[in-house]
Amino acid sequence: MSATTLQKLEARPFVGIRRQLNVTQIVPFFTEAFPKVMGWLAAKGIEPASMPMAVWLKMDMETGIADCHAGCFVHEAVEGEGEITAGETTAGEALTVTHTGPYDTVGQTWMLLFQMAADMERRPGAGWEIYVDDPEQTPAAKVRTEIHLPLL
């Protein structure tokens, strides 16, 4: 894991597919959503502005239900269509870190960020992850995930 930094971030537009689901269903959801979003962008002639990413709008730690938007950043705001919807990340101060390692260990890094926010007496906003490396091309121990947690 890289050092955590506090950065001032601009809002970024993205497109994706939004679902509320149990965290045990995240991998099948991503496996379905990312190709659909990339295919939709290609059909519209829109160049992605990032690798695949996910915005975590809400997470109920007791039930394991997440409200997640899976897709990618775009260079400028666009209108979605059907199940492809548009959104924008939260602007302002955010804790930012790059997690290195298997996806099933990313939650530990998120928990550290939430603790840091609490220690700063700040409320976390809707965070997002960018999946920097292709897991089919990169060994699991070296896969990088950029994590951004807005502070409200």
DSSP the chain: -PPPEEEEE---EEEEEEEEEEGGGHHHHHHHHHHHHHHHHHHHTPPBSSS-EEEEEEEETTTTEEEEEEEEEBSS----BTTBEEEEPPPEEEEEEEEES-GGGHHHHHHHHHHHHHHTT--B--EEEEE-S-TTTS-GGG-EEEEEEEB-
Supply the CATH classification number for the domain 5-150. Answer: 3.20.80.10
Q: What are the CA-CA distances from residue 24 to residues 46, 55, 126 (Å)? A: 31, 17, 20
The pTM assigned to this predicted structure is 0.93
- What are the sequence ranges of the domains in the chain? 5-150
The amino acid at 52: P
pLDDT for 1 equals: 75
Q: pLDDT tens across 18-42, in order?
A: 999 999 999 999 999 999 999 999 9
- Within 10 Å of residue 63's Cβ, how many Cβ atoms? 9
pLDDT for 152 equals: 95
Q: What are the CA-CA distances from residue 22 to residues 1, 66, 77, 89, 112 (Å)? A: 26, 6, 29, 22, 22
Q: pLDDT tens across 115-133, in order?
A: 999 999 999 999 999 999 9
Q: pLDDT tens across 51-87, in order?
A: 999 999 998 888 989 999 999 999 999 999 999 999 9
Residues 6+ apart with CB under 8 A from 150: 9, 89, 90, 92, 93, 94, 124, 125, 126, 127
What does the block give as tokens for 15?
């497109």
Mean pLDDT of the chain: 96
